[in-house]
Amino acid sequence: MFKSIRKVSTKQLLKTFRINYNESSKLTASWNINVVTNYSTQTAYQNIFDRNAKRLQKERAARSPDVELYDYLKEEVGFRLADRIIDIKREFANAADIGCSRGFLSKHIMAESVQHLTLCDTSPTMLAQAQGTPGLKMTKLEVDEEKLDFAENSLDLVISSLSLHWVNDLPGCFSKVIRSLKPDGVFIASLFGGDTLYELRSSLQLAEIERKGGLAPHISPFTQIRDVGALLNRAGFTMLTIDTDEIVVGFPSMFELMWDLKGMAENNAAFNRPAHISRETLLAASAIYKELYAKDDGVSATFQIIYFVGWKPGPNQPQPLARGSGDVSLKDLGKIIETGGTKKTKA
């Protein structure tokens, strides 16, 4: 289990959270907790997230003098995602990292695997901080993940780590990615899943019901694993591989968790976010969190990570046999196993 060493005074945190950031040049003090959104049944998307607020949050986090202290989660996920890229024994001429942040993927991409990598992000400060491995040719592009404009059939590889969960139009984003990929190109990415921060979500919900008699929208939507597969299929990707992982991080209290979310630029950016969370609600939520999810040395927070790999159809990919081309029925499969036969089975 990862463990945060951050310790911030409760007084300082409460003072920070009470500030009302209503101006467009400032940021919200509400926090990102998960609620599941179902994209697979939607025919049109809604603008749930304030992309400008998210850009400003990332800028503020990147300019913090201790920004490295909050990199631990994204560093770990970037390393795990890079392993999946290395598993593909192929040299990619042109690749793009969308939502690259501070380069949590590019620092693991070897020049022997990728000839040229384009780093894309909305935050110019994070782009400036992103670095690659020795010899890796890179171009940095300040662009929104929702407004990708790569030429058709121009990329061999598209990667993204912990960025896509803030995209309003995931179906549209996936369609732009597959359009930019060459035939047999691959899309490899990670994003937060529906169980992320369920401890914080439930604690704040219970506290608000107790103190306010209802729920305020402190919740930003995440997607479920089944919806990721449906969206990739709808966009046209084939040979999908989707899996999940959980990273549990320990904190002294709920307040250190919330402080770290701000340092990661993972605080709430929904359009309907409230201006602030009251002091009494925060204190009640902290007590509930400790009661329900306490560990020996503090509390824990769960981050569910969804990883996926999708391929653009190409002539060199394995193709299924034509239906009915087998010469043995599946109902006779048991007999074949018993006799050690190796005949093809009928579909």
**Tokens representing 190?**
């990670």
Judge whether residue 285 has pLDDT over 80: yes
pLDDT tens for residues 75-85?
Answer: 999 999 999 99
Confidence of residue 214 (pLDDT cuts 50, 70, 90): low
String of DSSP letters for 100-138 = -TTTTTGGG--TTTEEEEEEEES-HHHHHH----TT-EE
Tell me if the pTM is above 0.85. no
* Contact between residue 121 and residue 147 where contact means Cβ atoms under 8 Å apart: no
Please tell me the predicted confidence (pLDDT) of residue 45: 57
Domains of the chain as residue ranges with CATH: 2-316 (3.40.50.150), 321-347 (no CATH)
Kindly report the average pLDDT of the chain as a whole number. Answer: 83
pLDDT tens for residues 152-210?
Answer: 999 999 999 999 999 999 999 999 999 999 999 999 999 999 899 999 989 998 998 88
- Sign of the dihedral through C-alpha 224, 225, 230, 231: positive
